[in-house]
Chains A and B, each alone.
Chain A
Amino acid sequence: MARLVVLGGGVAGHTTATFAARWLGSEHEVVVVTPNAKWNWIPSNIWVGVGEMKKEEVTFDLAPVYAKAGITYRQAKAVSINPEGGESSDQPFVTIEYTSADKAGQSETIEYDYLVNATGPKLNFGATPGLGEGSQLGEHTVSVCTSDHAVHAFEKLTEAIEKMKAGTRQKILVGTGHGMCTCQGAAFEYIFNIEHELRKAGVRDMADIKWISNESFLGDFGMGGLHLKVGGFVVSSKLFAESLFAERNVEWIIGAHVSKVEEGKVHYELLDGSTGEEEFDFSMLIPPFAGVGLKAYNKAGEDITDTVFAPNGFMKVDANYNAGAYENWKASDWPKTYQNPTYKNMFAAGIAFAPPHIISKPMSSPNGTPINPTPPRTGMPSGIIGKTVAHSVCALIAKGENAHLHEASMAKMGAACVASAGKGVFTGTAAAMTVYPVVPDFEKYPGTGRDTNYTFGEIGLAGHWIKHILHHLFIYKAKLNPGWTLIPE
């Protein structure tokens, strides 16, 4: 019997564990270690953050789902990995610390034959003073990265709306809270959902809404932007995004590294080296992401964290980490199997893998401050990578260490992103975007780096319907309801 331990029960980890459990059957064991009792469909947190959905609609209990799938569930967080085993045995193991109420703080070790690290991001609030280190909710600003954050964001937004109704003008600032943030898409969705809600509440004219982000141009989205076919033209996402901002009267500050947040004010540095301040009454700033801080030790107990993890805390995989300058970057730098190069029974899936480099053009201010988005690893790539890794682990278990590993490079993978711009069956709209591939391949597609037949975007009610359907479909799938394997990632 082999044991697969999956760290993290988010989009990638849940996909890996559920497929692996199904394919391996009861002959082998799948263990999931994840700190939360509930699964969260994170993209719908945006709707929780504007009060259009309740927290209960975007979360469900994990325990019954894992019981149904025959998966051993530990409500705990992984602390460290010993890939060579310890003093008494060569069997690799992870050390976990329970987070469930009954065992909180207790430690345990779990031996494994295969390990998948799908621990996603640490929300690195501490990177920017005043962003919310400690409170984990945002100190002066709010966040929508977890369902609890989104509930808190809605409370604060409601207060701002009440003030507007009482005749007090409000400044709303939404975007990224550091020069090295990713996930601009989430902030983009949130700002337009707020704009929509303010119109619905009849107070749009009482609000000044502003975007602040580390993108060097609007519509970069951490992917270096994209080119879309619109009305017979192939246009940059810059024009697409700027058009929406202008239409909705949302101003923007771009190329901004938020260096400090105070009560009602952010300080920022721009790509040209100048600095500025922006006041706000309500602000949602996405924190930068880092690895969750897992440690690794060799058999002698020496710290080998640097061997297993990149400096940003994400796990090293089969990527080319020595690509050098931007001019040398290639699509082939991106990982295919997500296997750790040192310990072949270890994989990383979703946000937890260390990308070879960013996708957008690297930029920094004359003061040397890097201001560029880090690469997004959105839901669809995270799910596909999770399933690919499950395939590989199952093949290794069934056929031995020479088994063929499955591949899913982000340079050969597309992503469908539907950014909601307001909820409502007949009044809602969303920007439905598809990009293929996520990482541009200028050798294959000279010019835009992508296949413009499958890289498109448009705004409308249809996108909103798709977003709504995806919400129900993915929660249905994650609950392992009948036919779940037929729903694509």
Chain B
Amino acid sequence: MSKKKIVAEETNFQKNDAFNLTMIPGAFARKMRTCLIWQFIRFITINIKMIIVVGKSH
């Protein structure tokens, strides 16, 4: 019998029909959400974009 291969972030697909029809982030995407270096870069980028939107709105 082959061994079970559990991918933790994929188990939720089976919990609900609606979950099964959407996308769920994999391990890499999740890791990047709290990766300090990447998030620092995103922090700067999002801030710049938000400042532009604020500027366009006034």
Contacts and interface: CB of A to CB of B under 8 A. Distances in A.
Contacts of A408: 57-58
B52 A466 contact: no
B54 A416 contact: yes
Interface in A374-425: 380, 384, 387, 408, 412-416
B53 A239 contact: no
Nearest to B20: A246
Contact of A466 (B13, B15, B24, B47): B47
Nearest to A438: B57
A426 B50 CA distance: 22
Contacts, number: 96
Given A251-B16, A454-B52, A462-B46, A427 B34 contact: yes
A308 B13 CA distance: 52
B1 interface: no
Contact of A461 (B39, B53, B57): B39
| Interface SS, A side | mixed
A436 B24 contact: no
Given A239-B23, A434-B49, A460-B34, A247 B42 contact: no
Contacts of A288: none
| Chain A: number of interface residues, binned into ranges | 35 or more
A245 B12 CA distance: 10
A246 B13 contact: yes
- 10 A-B pairs closest in CB distance: A414-B53, A246-B19, A462-B43, A242-B22, A462-B42, A460-B33, A461-B39, A413-B57, A462-B39, A416-B50
Interface of A: 239, 242-243, 245-247, 249, 251-252, 380, 384, 387, 408, 412-416, 426-427, 429, 432, 434, 436, 454, 456, 458-463, 465-466, 488-489
